[in-house]
Structure 1
Amino acid sequence: MKKEIKSSVPADSEIILGILNDSKEILNRLYVTYFPMVLQLVLNNNGNEDDAKDIFQESVIILYNKVKTGNFELNSKLKTFIYSICRRLWLKRLNAQSKTVRNVQDFSDFLPVEDDLERHEEKDRQFAIMESALLQLGEPCKTIIEDYYMQNKSMQEICEKFGYTNADNAKTQKYKCLQRLKKLFFQA
């Protein structure tokens, strides 16, 4: 049996369990993992480090209270959830201070506005379905799709890898695989 090594970034489920069990270690790791993104958000939008600490602390309290109610469901990545809360809190604080901020600078890999949370969660759900469909696809289709769409390999490279007589035959096979993938995706 392999010994599992704890990564520096705790899994979302590990954090939720840690909060339920009042783990100070998990709260510390939560701070180390997610505070830097909140600090960057606040510093980039008329705030300072103390503001960021306040906002982050408020978001942790909100998360803690939601988890402790017992009916908390995480429908996105925890990172996205925390960022959304912090962004909303910071916008409220700026508004209360009457600072005119027309464009809060966001990181491209986070939600641009909290209203997009549902759309983001739907995309996460669809990506999970696609991942499942890709796993069900089987070989050689799974590898062909991954090589072409994820590894950006040419049809000629795929042709040579799988021993097709020419790139057109590989393209036909890719098309058939894509149709099977679509079928599996829409059945889910």
Structure 2
Amino acid sequence: MEHSDQKYIKALVTNDEVLVKEIYRKFSGKIKWMVLKNNGTETAAGDIFQEALLSICHKAKMYDLVLSCPFDAFIYTICKNLWLKELSKQKAHPVISDDEGLEIGEDNTKLAEECLMQEQRVNLLNEKLDELGGDCAKLLRLNWGGKSMGEVAQELKMTYAYARKKKVGCMEKLIGLIKRTPQFNSLKW
């Protein structure tokens, strides 16, 4: 069954400027976070995100791609696989790769499971961010939404140094909240 986020696939195919900007605004921050957390740079994260969008657009045009899971889980999975391939090329880490790989257009049980797990991770993360509340939640959401720490500091009326220090503390609190949940181990963070 077609997911309501199919609108993002259509936006990429038709080059709908408003929705494509929304894709960047809503989803690029999570990819940036994932790449930075795994020995990457902001530039690499941007490149991976762009490559994933181009690949989705290409496959959607060729195979009439129908999205059956949330777009954020879908793009996250694609970017994660692209980043693992990039790390493998760089030999920054020994990466155990799956020889069969994930084709974007194919009906793949593994992709569906990963989409579901990623959706559950995002839901837990958002739940714990809400629980964290206040400046911490706002700071993390702004930064993960694609804003630089300089922009975040300015928006929250903090110095850059204080915003960076506060981010570390907020991340520690958030990680603590997440680790104390019963579903933490089952979501394979």
What TM-score, normalized by structure 1, do the two folds share?
0.48
Where relative contact order (Cα < 8 A, 6+ residues apart) is larger, the structure is: 2
> Larger Cα Rg: Structure 1 or Structure 2?
1
